[in-house]
Amino acid sequence: MEDNNKFLIVGLGNSENKYAGTRHNIGFEVVMKFAQTHKLSFSIDRHAYVAKGKLKGKQVVLILPTTYMNLSGKAVRYWLEREKIDAKNMLVISDDIDLPLGEIKIKPKGGGGSHNGLNNIIELLEHQNFPRLRFGIGKDFPRGFQSEYVLGRFSSNEQKIIEPIIEKCATIIASFVTIGLQKTMNQFNTATTETQDSDKNE
């Protein structure tokens, strides 16, 4: 039986050191910022680096999968089952090339688009009904160079743009855990562009 007071927060990325700081690892950066803010420390466990803590009476489990991005679902499914957490109490943080740099969007469900990590989670859970926080990294690359772009690093100017957004995303995680998805979406989705209005009901 699932525990409604327990939450799984998933940062998507690749765990090897050579991928640290790349655009594709922004999910890791956000979850690590949340852990740092709340003084939680990670240790290696099955399929992931894991940190656990409490926030206003709610239990929080943070994971950074060690499975490589395209097998993220393996870690997610394992930790949902091990911790007996309902998927609606999970927030997955990922990079998104279809959002402008630094723009964020919270959604209750939806497809994975071109994101291999999200698609693998959907495939292994056999549904797409889980909240996700998408972090825009833009798509400033020539056709055919998506892989090089997402595995590249932010420029110093881009870094200045994303650093405060990473902190904002850590605040969003805390909001999701303490006041729930709907109120969090109402508070944080309105601050970004109108492109969200067309697909709020996806």
Structure confidence by residue, pLDDT tens digits, 139-158:
989 988 999 999 999 999 99
Residue 1 confidence class, pLDDT cut points 50, 70, 90: low
Residue 7 to residue 18: CA distance in whole angstroms: 29
pLDDT digits (tens, 9 = 90+) for 89-129: 999 999 999 999 999 999 999 999 989 999 999 999 999 99
Task: Provide the phi-psi class of 29: left if phi over 0, else alpha when psi is between -120 and 50, else beta.
Answer: alpha
- Residues sharing a CB contact under 8 Å with residue 166, sequence separation 6 or more, in sequence order: 26, 29, 30, 33
What letters, b where the CB count within 10 A reaches 16 and e where it falls short, cover 38-55?
bebebeeeebbbbbeeee
**24 carries an active-site annotation:** yes
**Is residue 44 pLDDT above 80, yes or no?**
yes
Question: According to CATH, what is the number of the domain 6-199?
Answer: 3.40.50.1470
Tell me the one-letter amino acid at 29.
Answer: E
Q: So where are the chain's domains?
A: 6-199
pLDDT value at 181 more than 90: yes
Comparing 195 with 44, which gets the higher pLDDT? 44
Pairing mode, if any, of strands 6-11 and 58-65? parallel
Q: Which of 24, 38, 47, 115 is catalytic?
A: 24
Residue 168 neighbours by CB under 8 Å, 6+ apart: 104, 188
> How far is Cα 33 from Cα 11, in angstroms, rounded to an integer?
11
Rounded Cα distance between 109 and 54, Å, is: 25
pTM of the predicted model as reported, rounded to 2 decimal places: 0.92
**Distance of CA 17 to CAs 118, 161, 196, Å?**
22, 23, 34
User: What is the structure's pLDDT at 4?
Assistant: 84
